[in-house]
A and B are shown apart, each in its own frame.
Chain A
Amino acid sequence: MRIGLGYRREFAEDLQRLLPSTIDFLELAPENWIKIGGKRQCELTNLHEHYPLVAHGLSLSIGGPRPLNEPFLQELKKFFDHYNISIYTEHLSYCGAKSHIYDLLPMPFCEEAIHYIASRIRRVEDILERPIALENISYYATPMQELTELEFINGILTESQCGLLLDVNNIYVNSINQNYDAKTFLKSLKPKHIPYIHVAGHNKRSEDFILDSHGSDIIDPVWDLLNCAYQQYGLLPTVLERDNNIPTLNRLLKEVDIIRDIQTSIDKGTV
């Protein structure tokens, strides 16, 4: 299980027709698939017959001030059991306070939030009976910086012992927007476990501002960072994400080929 693709309904038909063997697994957002029937459930059953699935959630709000939504977690567990999903990843962020916000907001970087999140991670893992891994998100605002981003992420990883979904594109995006060195950041992370890596494209708005849109082809510095991640943390499974301006599946498969080439070159020790 080395290369995964973030599933989008836009390329559903092509995927069903081609069933490309260069993809080893699919990643999907459970929030779009739990508790459903009808055509969409048929689509999921079909995917599940051909590919192993991993779940990448959007609405857990692990760092949010509202209590964990336990009925939702119970539904997630049922869903994971039914579709043999053993890997569940989410975001190190929160989805609003009083009202649920369908976006990923930047955590205040502080010690107190680390303890809070670590205890919530334990509760989530207890309910799901599965480990969870959290993604380093891209962010555009820093509402509180008692700690640096790196101290904050490492604090969570150490205290909770949860996995890290290493997103190399987000490191790149943040390195430009927050003005730090991407490779140094990458090498300073202290994950105990990385279930898989994320790569994606982004949208450059100006010299010093990038929007993490998942809407363009991946650029060379991000490929370079992926290479660097493999060297640092080993040849890990890697998921290609594309959520906007979705091209044909064939075009996406070209990026899958690039991931494979990088993995092969590392394997042969040619880098």
Chain B
Amino acid sequence: MAKVPKFMKIQQAFSNAVLGSAACPLEVDQNHVKIYRNLIHEGMDEILRTNFPVLYSLFNEEDWQQLISHFLQTHPCKTPLFYEIAEEFLDYLNNERDSKQDPSFLVELAHYEWVELALDLHENEGPFGSVDLFNDTLRVSSLAWLLQYDYPVHRIGKNYQPQTKPQEPTWLVVYRDRALNIGFLELNALSARLLALLKEQSITGEEALAIIATELQHPEPQTLQTFGLELLSDFLEKDIILAAYKSFPS
């Protein structure tokens, strides 16, 4: 193996020191190391505060600062893109964070806040043409993310912090419409299943509703079709579903 040049060893030691994960073994003024440590900490503090405002609001200042330090010291960030730091932070919460004081919904809440950011910057979708909900093969927009959480993350805030996991999961679809605005819809078991089917299979709205009627052994499939069509219209209006890409005739 090639010998690591001396200057790289210095870079390694200095980097560890400014991240706060080790004292600086070099002949560098500790006050100078501290200047970098503070700059890096303040920069990350601002980024995470802005990207995760609800999460931030649940911490007291001291715990929040400790969280930033621990993130910097334990998570090996890789992305060169500033807007992807939020994703690095999610990785950290999933893999390196280990605090008994954290509420059990913390990771889910952070994920939900990240989804909004990610969708806002996601590459574009379209075209948004006209759709026959019953007869066209449908697809779920790449900008509509079907999410299942243990906690009602969309309601969590300073004044609502559930201590125990509710019995029913929370289904949400977070989406970006053609006007580039972000919205979310809370789903129930039926609407979540409908969207999931359209995501998994290349089928029409009518076919999806027929599958659900069979699954539920619904006594009145016609009522389900009518109700289902209303759901689909709402999804369509919000640009959650689109007509599937037409395949070329073979």
| Chain A contacts to B: CB under 8 angstroms | 29, 31-32, 34-42, 58-61, 63-65, 69, 72, 94-103, 105, 107-108, 110, 112-113, 116, 140-144, 211
Contact = CB atoms under 8 A, between A and B. Distances in A.
20 contacts: A34-B81, A35-B81, A36-B123, A37-B124, A38-B180, A40-B121, A59-B81, A97-B12, A98-B76, A99-B75, A101-B40, A103-B36, A108-B10, A116-B7, A140-B35, A141-B14, A141-B32, A141-B36, A143-B10, A143-B26
A103 B43 contact: yes
Contacts of A211: 35
A61 B176 CA distance: 34
Nearest to B121: A36
Contacts of A29: 82
Contacts of B36: 103, 105, 140-141
B8 interface: yes
B80 interface: yes
Nearest to B26: A143
Nearest to B5: A112
Residue among A31, A58, A65 with max Cβ neighbours from chain B (10 Å): A65
Interface of B: 4-8, 10-16, 18-19, 26, 28-29, 32-33, 35-36, 39-40, 43-44, 47, 75-83, 85, 119-125, 176, 180
A115 B80 CA distance: 24
A41 B125 CA distance: 13
Residue among A38, A41, A105 with max Cβ neighbours from chain B (10 Å): A38
B76 A99 contact: yes
A105 B14 CA distance: 9
Contacts of A38: 119-122, 124, 176, 180
B7 A144 contact: yes
Given A38-B122, A99-B76, A101-B40, 6 more contacts: A59-B80, A97-B15, A102-B44, A108-B10, A141-B33, A141-B35
B98 to A, nearest CB: 18
Given A39-B180, A69-B80, A98-B76, A105 B121 contact: no
Contacts, number: 128
Nearest to A142: B28
Contacts of B5: 112-113, 116
A39 B120 contact: yes
A69 B77 CA distance: 13
Contacts of A72: 80
Contacts of B33: 141
A143 B14 contact: yes
A64 B12 CA distance: 9
Going nearest first, the 10 A-B pairs with the smallest beta carbon separation are A59-B80, A141-B32, A37-B124, A37-B123, A108-B7, A97-B15, A65-B8, A99-B76, A97-B12, A140-B35
Nearest to B78: A100
Contacts of A143: 10-11, 13-14, 26, 28
B89 to A, nearest CB: 12
Contact of A100 (B8, B26, B80): B80
Contacts of A142: 28, 32
A32 B83 contact: yes
Contact of A141 (B8, B29, B43): B29
A205 B6 CA distance: 33
Contacts of B10: 108, 143-144
A9 B62 CA distance: 30
Nearest to B33: A141
A10 to B, nearest CB: 12
A174 to B, nearest CB: 13
Nearest to B74: A99
A97 B8 CA distance: 8
A102 B82 CA distance: 8
Nearest to B30: A141
Nearest to B39: A103
A144 B11 CA distance: 10
A2 B123 CA distance: 34
